[in-house]
Structure 1
Amino acid sequence: MTLEGPDPDAGAPALTHFSDGLPRMVDVSNKAPTARTATAEAWVRLPPEARAALEAGTNAKGDPLIVARLAGLAASKRTAELITLCHPLPVTGAEVRVTLEPAGVRVKATVRTTGPTGVEMEALTAVTVAALNVYDMLKAASKALEITGIRLLAKTGGKSGDYEAPSRAPWP
C-alpha cells in the first residue's frame, strides 16, 4: 500500500472504488434500472432521565420522535452528499418509523428506488441521522444516550440478489 493506494502489481483483487490506486465512483451507466428496496434499523439507548422526559412529554425541545422521523426522511434523499462515493439516486419512496420501545427508541427505515444501484446506504443514512436527531433532542435530559445497533435488515433487487439479516433480540 502506498500513499496513492494499493499496489496494482501486488496481485490483490480489483477494487471497485479505486482505479490506478485512486478513488473513483463506479460507473453504473450500463446497468439496467431495477426496483430495489432496503430496510435498516438503529437503536437509541435511553438513560432513565431521558426516557422519563420522553414519556412525560416534558422535553423542552419538543417531540424527538417526530423530528427524528422528518430528519430521517430528508437524510435518505441526501445520502450522496454525505457518503463520498455513493451515487445520487432518485428515492421513489421512503418510510421512517421512530418508536419508543422497552429496549429504547427504535428507528427503522425502508427506502425504495428504481435505478441501477441499490439503496442500502440511503436506508442506513436515514436511520443514523434520525438517531442523531433523537440524541440532539434529548441531550438536555441526559448526555448518556447511546446510538447503537445500526444495521441493514433487508434488501431486494440488484445483481447480488435479496438479503435478510439474521433475527436477533432487540438491542440489549
Structure 2
Amino acid sequence: MNIEFSHVADNDQPGMVDVGAKKITVREAEAQSIVWLGKENIELFEKAGWENKKGGILQTAIIAGTMAAKKTGDLIPMCHPLGLESCKINIDVLEESLKITCICRLEAKTGVEMEAMVGASVAALTIYDMCKSVSKGIVIQETKLIRKSGGKSDFKA
C-alpha cells in the first residue's frame, strides 16, 4: 500500500501544500474538546458564577480559543494563514465535564479543520489554567474533529 502524505514535498522534505489550483469553496469545520473537572468542582464553579480571581472562566476560554484559531497558521508549521470569516466557541456545562465546541468558517482554497481544533484545544487549556488553583486533577480528555465540509471531501464523526 502506497500512502501519500500531503505535507511531504517531492524531495521527501516537509512542505506546505500548494493550493493554487484548488477552487474557492465555503469551508466549515467543527471540533470539540472535553475538559473533565469532576462533579464537585463543577458545583463549586457554578456556585461562584464561573468567576474566580483571574476573571470569567468561560468568557476567557472563549476569547482565548478565538484568538488561537485566528493564529493557527503561526502555530502549526504547514498550515496556511487564513482570514477566518467566522469562529464560534460554545461551552456546555455537563455533570462532570465541560464540552467545548469550536466552529470555524470561511471561503477559501483550503480547509479550516486545524483552526477549529486549535480553537477548541486552547479554550480547554485556558479552562485548565483558570481552574488549576482549585484542582490539579483536571483532565483534558479529548480534542477531536466532529465534522468538516467544503473541499473535495466532507467528514462527519
Q: Same fold (TM over 0.5)?
A: yes
TM-score calculated relative to the size of structure 2: 0.91
Q: Which residue of 2 aligns with 1:6?
A: none
Deviation at 1:49, TM superposition (A): 4.8
Contact 1:40–1:124 under 8 Å retained in 2: yes
1:89-128 equivalent positions in 2, closer than 5 A: 89-128=82-121
Q: Which amino acid aligns with 2:45?
A: L
Q: Which residue of 1 aligns with 2:7?
A: 17
User: Which of the two has higher C-alpha Rg?
Assistant: 1
Deviation at 1:21, TM superposition (A): 1.8
Contact 1:53–1:141 under 8 Å retained in 2: no
Structure 1 stretches of 5 or more lacking a match? 1-10, 166-172
* Residues in 2 aligned to 1:126 and 1:53: alpha-carbon distance in whole angstroms: 26
Residues 94-135 of structure 1: CA deviation (Å, up to 9, x unaligned): 100112111411100110010001000000000000000000
User: Aligned in 2, Cα 1:153/1:36: closer, same or farther, shift over 3 Å?
Assistant: same
Runs (4+) of structure 1 moved beyond 6 Å? none
1:55-74 equivalent positions in 2, closer than 5 A: 55-57=46-48, 59-74=52-67
* Residues in 2 aligned to 1:29 and 1:145: alpha-carbon distance in whole angstroms: 43
Task: Report the identity percentage.
Answer: 38
Q: Which residue of 1 aligns with 2:22?
A: 31
Residues 18-62 of structure 1: CA deviation (Å, up to 9, x unaligned): 121210001101111100100111111003553243112163222
Q: Which amino acid aligns with 2:33?
A: A
Structure 2 stretches of 5 or more lacking a match? none
Q: Which residue of 2 aligns with 1:150?
A: 143
User: Aligned in 2, Cα 1:91/1:103: closer, same or farther, shift over 3 Å?
Assistant: same
